[in-house]
Amino acid sequence: MGILLTVFLPLSLAFIMFSLGLGLTLADFARVVAKPRAFVAGAISQVVILPIVAFLLLQVFTLQPKLAVGVMILSFCPGGVTSNIMTRLAGGSVALSVTLTGVVSLLSVVTVPFLVAFAANHFMGQAAPDIDVTSLALAMFAITAVPVAIGVAIRHAATSFADRAEPLVMRIAMILFVIIVVGALAANWTVFVQNITVLGPLLVVLNVALLLIGLGFGRLLGLDRPDSIAVAIETGIQNSTLGITVGSLIVEAAIGLPPFSLPSGVYGITMYFVSLPFILWARQGSRP
In a domain, 286, yes or no: no
Output the domain CATH number for residue 200: 1.20.1530.20
In a domain, 287, yes or no: no
In a domain, 55, yes or no: yes
Task: Tell me what the mean pLDDT of segment 206-235 comes to.
Answer: 93
Nearest to 83 by CA among 255, 262, 211, 204: 211
In a domain, 266, yes or no: yes
Residue 160's domain comprises 2-281
Whether residue 18 contacts residue 169, with contact meaning beta carbons closer than 8 Å, is answered with yes
d(CA 31, CA 76): 23
Over pLDDT 90: what percentage of the chain? 28
Over pLDDT 70: what percentage of the chain? 94
In a domain, 254, yes or no: yes
Whether residue 156 contacts residue 28, with contact meaning beta carbons closer than 8 Å, is answered with no
Is it the case that residue 174 has pLDDT exceeding 60?
yes
How many structural domains compose the chain?
Answer: 1
In a domain, 204, yes or no: yes
- Of 21-30, 42-51, 63-72, the poorest mean pLDDT is in 21-30
In a domain, 98, yes or no: yes
Most confident stretch, 53-67, 79-93, 121-135, 145-159: 53-67
Is it the case that residue 288 has pLDDT exceeding 50?
no
In a domain, 251, yes or no: yes
